[in-house]
Each structure stands twice: as structure tokens, then as C-alpha cells.
């Protein structure tokens, strides 16, 4: 595989690789390093890439594994879910504060989820991956992805309702 063909194959999903690395590693610098490491590994194995049906899913799996290895190496448990910085300037200050508080609460609830459910929420609800793609990345059946996503959303929903009702069911 030549450089031009390699770049044409792997560059379209570089932003997704970076976002997943950023989601897992939190630090922008570490995410950039992880992305660079991944692309270096892909380049070194460029002649083997054609044997994979979905190179993007393969790259995302490599990214996930690399990042988890990095986290284990530094024994870090401070995974943060990155949220969009969208801001509507027409919202009042009070509404803006309420919105930020709600986002913070959801992030806290997501952080309490098991790691697999956190990953599935990130890939499905933030990155907009299909169930089949998530299954390939996490080595799960699409049905298992749906079930885990449903359970994660249900847990978050129940906790939010409980908080909004001040613990009164």
C-alpha cells in the first residue's frame, strides 16, 4: 500500500480516533499522542490493512486498547466524558446555569456506570456509531450493545428522576 492510498484509507476517521482517545484519556495532549501512536502503528502494518473488513472499526479498537493500556500504566481512574460546547446565546443566564448543571449531573451519572456501558454511551450517543460498529469495536454482539445501552440509559433516567423528585419516588 502506497502512502497516498494509506492516507485516503485512514484519514477520514482521524477525528473519531482523536475524540475517542480524548474521551478516554481526558488530556488533549495525551489524546494527540495516542492518535499519533495509532497512525504510526497503522503505517507500520499498512500492508496488512486490506485483510480487515472495516479498517475504521479496527482502528477504533486499537485506539481503545492503547488508551486503556495508558490508563492502566498510570493507574488513572479519572475518565471524563467530553460534551459538546454548544451554547445558545439567547438562553438566559439562569437557564444557562441550569443547563450546565444538568449536563454535569448527567456526566456524573455516566461516570458511575460500568466501563462497558460508558464506552457504549460514548460511541452511540456522542460519536453516532451504529450498533454493529460498536459491537465490532468492543467485541460484542449488536444485541448485547443494545441491551447494555438500554440498561445504561435506564439507570441514568432513573437516577435523574430520583434527583428531580428529591429522592421521593
For residue 15, being part of any structural domain is answered with yes
- Gap between the Cα atoms of 90 and 86, Å rounded: 12
Clarify whether residues 69 and 100 are in a common domain: no
Q: Which domain holds residue 24?
A: 3-74
Clarify whether residues 66 and 125 are in a common domain: no
C-alpha cell at 24: 478516554
- Gap between the Cα atoms of 118 and 89, Å rounded: 30
What pLDDT, on a 0 to 100 scale, did the predictor assign at position 78? 42
Give 129 or 103, the one with higher predicted confidence. 129
What pLDDT, on a 0 to 100 scale, did the predictor assign at position 155? 93
For residue 152, what are the contacts with CB-CB under 8 A and spacing of at least 6?
A: 110, 113, 117, 118, 120, 121
* pTM for this prediction: 0.52
CATH number at residue 134: 1.10.10.10
CATH number at residue 7: 1.10.1740.10
Clarify whether residues 20 and 68 are in a common domain: yes
Average pLDDT of the residues of the chain:
82
Q: What is the DSSP letter of 50?
A: G
Give the count of domains, the chain.
2
Amino acid at each position: 500500500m502506497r502512502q497516498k492510498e494509506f492516507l485516503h484509507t485512514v484519514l477520514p476517521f482521524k477525528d473519531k480516533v482523536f475524540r475517542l482517545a480524548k474521551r478516554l484519556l481526558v488530556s488533549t495532549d495525551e489524546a494527540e499522542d495516542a492518535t499519533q501512536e495509532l497512525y504510526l502503528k497503522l503505517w507500520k502494518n499498512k500492508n496488512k490493512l486490506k485483510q480487515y473488513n472495516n479498517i475504521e472499526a479496527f482502528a477504533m479498537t486499537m485506539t481503545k486498547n492503547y488508551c486503556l493500556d495508558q490508563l492502566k500504566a498510570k493507574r488513572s481512574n479519572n475518565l471524563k466524558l467530553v460534551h459538546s460546547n454548544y451554547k445558545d446565546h439567547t438562553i438566559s443566564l439562569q437557564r444557562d446555569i441550569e443547563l450546565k448543571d444538568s449536563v454535569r449531573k448527567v456526566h456524573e451519572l455516566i461516570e458511575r456506570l460500568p466501563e462497558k456501558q460508558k464506552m457504549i454511551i460514548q460511541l452511540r450517543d456522542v460519536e453516532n456509531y451504529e450498533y454493529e460498529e460498536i459491537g465490532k469495536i468492543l467485541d460484542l454482539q449488536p444485541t448485547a450493545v443494545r441491551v447494555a445501552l438500554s440498561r445504561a440509559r435506564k439507570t441514568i433516567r432513573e437516577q435523574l428522576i430520583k434527583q428531580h423528585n428529591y429522592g421521593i419516588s
